[in-house]
Structure 1
């Protein structure tokens, strides 16, 4: 597809890289020449210098033949304007990033009135992901499929779980029909494991199950599964506001530490049920005085990645809290993953996942379309949910009889709300949704699971 990306910041660059890897024709537009230059040197795409709110700029960038325009500049209004102009001069789909909470209640109206295909709010999406983790603090990461009926949970195997040296086949027999191992990370290696794969302590395992079954499984191996009752958030930005609002609705006590006095006043008005502390979040004594040792979760959401990571390390040393850190840059993600600081949230990856999901759904072929997509295992694999159509060419054929590609697992079938962990004799039927986990990138259709 021909795709124009307006805005060459963190999200724009991430999208350009991932969409280029999927063989789309990408043109990136920005007003800063150095950003264009750096991006086009690193990624094999076209760059165009100019203001995309100008019709002439968009025409020069190829809007008339574009299939999709994605506006992810730092300005909500500019993003909406770019989409509006694009709709006036072409038939392309449009996606806008809109972050300001002022617009949050009006997004449906804006989308419909301006004819925008999709509006994405990165901070709100990240807040939902953090809240999901605090509901189930034993997991490092949780993704959901089938409208919340299926979860993909990532956790680290510890000696007390007694899973060391157990094969995936033995694991399946012991926890029959409860849960399925979808992927295993061991150091730099990522595996979609077969039945003979041997689990080891310190492996990071991604499992797939219904919320009830995942809770039962974690209870069986002795992991605490109840949501946290309290949280301390360092940093009072937009993401903190969205997160606090969700947590308060979940009856979780919220305390926010913010250094800007005017922002504290604002948050006090917006979040009357939260405790807002005006102070330096890097002041160790302040954190201890405000109850760091007693709090059940500690979330670092400042604008400095280094600060977020160091604060989490301090909290790990001084409390038993569930730790969540926001990281914007990913140059040192391998080092960060090795620090064992709980859950690390990358807002730009979350945004990219939503947009990639839309792009894949746009180009689906006859058998199915992509409902949900997540980049998992440090971006080395994908978990996708396909909605199955009546014209899928291999309906009602047992999975064991299908020539399924290597490094790919049909992990779950949702049939009219009933969740099946599939075995060899199960088959895919029309109107199912099917979850697939694979290290093969770029699957667009359920037919792509088969060897050519």
Structure 2
């Protein structure tokens, strides 16, 4: 695919990096020379310095032959303008990064598609939605919903007391009469190796395991692993950023008791005016005495979303030492994901990764409904829609010659999630959730064309 990215900031550079690894034809546009020089030296892409709203510059980038334009500059006005121009100049599909979430809520009413913008994404909204989901699935370190929870991906670390440690996948499945979950990826403790499990794969203590669950699967997993999906009601949030504001607003509207700590006094007063159901505290969240004074030990969850990754990590570690059950830290450095398991923070989230996941489904072949990359694992989960022409259509799963580095995690049919085994027949309009290693993605895509 020929892809043009407007904006070489954190999201744009991260997207360019991921896409260049896949041998996509990438052109990166930005006004900042230093950002482009770094990208040009580190990535196999073309860079153009200039304003992406310039028609002459877009023509220089050969916008008329572009399969996809992604506008992710810091200015949502620029992003919208670039997408409108690009579509008029011949780009097949456009995606704009925005910060005003009202645009997403009223996308159809305003008619953004008619204007020339195929998709709107907000990294801040994606991060806030991720936090909401993680709080509802408190026993798990990672979570992602397909079709509003028809199937759910959850991740956890196996402790010594988990009932299926030492058992094979097949033996673990026999512990329940009906199967509502299936493992789709395993990372052995102390390694970076990602395994796509089969029936004879044996679970080991310390494994980081990702499951696909249907309704009831989460409760079964909790019973088998000794995890407790505790109800979370009291939440403390550090940082009144866009993510902090949106998370506080959404949680308080959903009946959570929320305390929000913001260092900047003026911003704290503004937040207090806007968030009537939230207790806003002006103070430095790194101050342990302040956290004690605000009864951090009584909190069910602590979420740190300041602009400083180190502050977020350290404050979550303090919260964990005070007995807080669930901690979530926003980080910018992708390398920190490798440390999350060893340092004791429940979940790390990254805006760049969330935005990239949301955009990546437009790069994959076949009709991809949803997609996510697994944190700290070299694997992707994709949700494909089965067409009449798809090779997998009307076939039993056991008769599909899937690569061993890929696995079907579940099927969504008529809005119902199903953990499908070998004798299940795939039909047109089914949505199939697949986990695969990068080397097998192209083979998997061919089954759904």
Work out whether the TM-score is over 0.5. yes
2: CA distance, partners of 1:57 / 1:394: 43
**1:144 positional shift:** 1.1
- Cα offset, 1:99, TM superposition: 1.1
Equivalent residue, structure 2, for 1:168: 169
1:447 positional shift? 5.1
- Which of 364, 368, 371 in structure 2 is aligned with 1:370? 368
Q: Counterpart of 2:236 in 1: which secondary structure? A: strand
C-alpha deviations, 1:204-238, integer Å up to 9, x for none? 11111114222233145432224311100000010
Gaps spanning 5+ residues in structure 2: where? none
Equivalent residue number for residue 159 of structure 2: 158
The alpha carbon displacement at 1:42 in A equals 1.2
Aligned to 1:235: 239
For 1:287 and 1:14, how far apart are their aligned partners in 2? Answer: 35
Q: Post-superposition shift, 1:335?
A: 3.0
Tell whether 2:316 aligns with 1:312: yes
Corresponding residue number in structure 2 for 1:184: 186
Alpha-carbon offset, residue 379 of structure 1: 4.7
Q: How many residues align?
A: 444
Q: What do the CA deviations read for 1:137-178 (whole angstroms, capped 9, x no partner)?
A: 111010111332000100111123233212111111113412
Q: How far apart in 2 are the matches of 1:190 and 1:57?
A: 42
Deviations 1:316-345 (A, max 9, x none): 111233000001121443234431210100
How far 1:133 sits from its partner (Å)? 0.5
TM-score by length of 1: 0.93
Unpaired stretches in structure 1, ≥5 consecutive residues: none
Superposed CA offset, 1:77-124 (max 9, x none): 111111122123224311110013565655442624522000001001
Distance, in Å, in 2 between the alignment partners of 1:431 and 1:284 is 54
User: Which stretch shows the higher mean deviation, 95-104 or 251-260?
Assistant: 95-104
Match for 1:214 among 207, 213, 218? 218
State the secondary structure of the residue aligned to 2:126: helix
Shift in alpha-carbon separation, 1:379–1:197, aligned structure 2, 3 A: closer
* TM-score, scaled relative to structure 2: 0.94
Give the root-mean-square deviation of aligned CA atoms: 1.9
Query: Aligned partners of 1:208 and 1:418: how far apart in 2?
Result: 14
Instruction: Between 193-202 and 380-389, report the one with greater CA deviation.
Output: 193-202
Offset, 1:276: 0.2
8 Å contact from structure 1 (residues 185, 377) kept in 2: no
Corresponding residue number in structure 1 for 2:408: 410
Q: Is the 8 A contact 1:190 1:377 kept in 2?
A: no
Query: In structure 2, the residue corresponding to 1:409 is in which secondary structure?
Result: strand
Contact 2:152/2:213 (CA < 8 Å) preserved in 1? yes
Matched residue SS, 2:334? coil
2:99 aligns with 99
Matched, 1:420 2:418: yes
For the residues of structure 1 that align with 2:61 and 2:411, how far apart are their CA atoms? Answer: 42
Q: Runs ≥4 in structure 1, deviation > 4 angstroms?
A: 101-108, 444-447
The alignment partner of 2:78 has SS state of helix
Cα distance in structure 2, aligned partners of 1:91 and 1:221: 49
- Give how far 1:282 is off: 0.7
Distance in 1 between residues matched to 2:246 and 2:73, nearest whole Å: 21
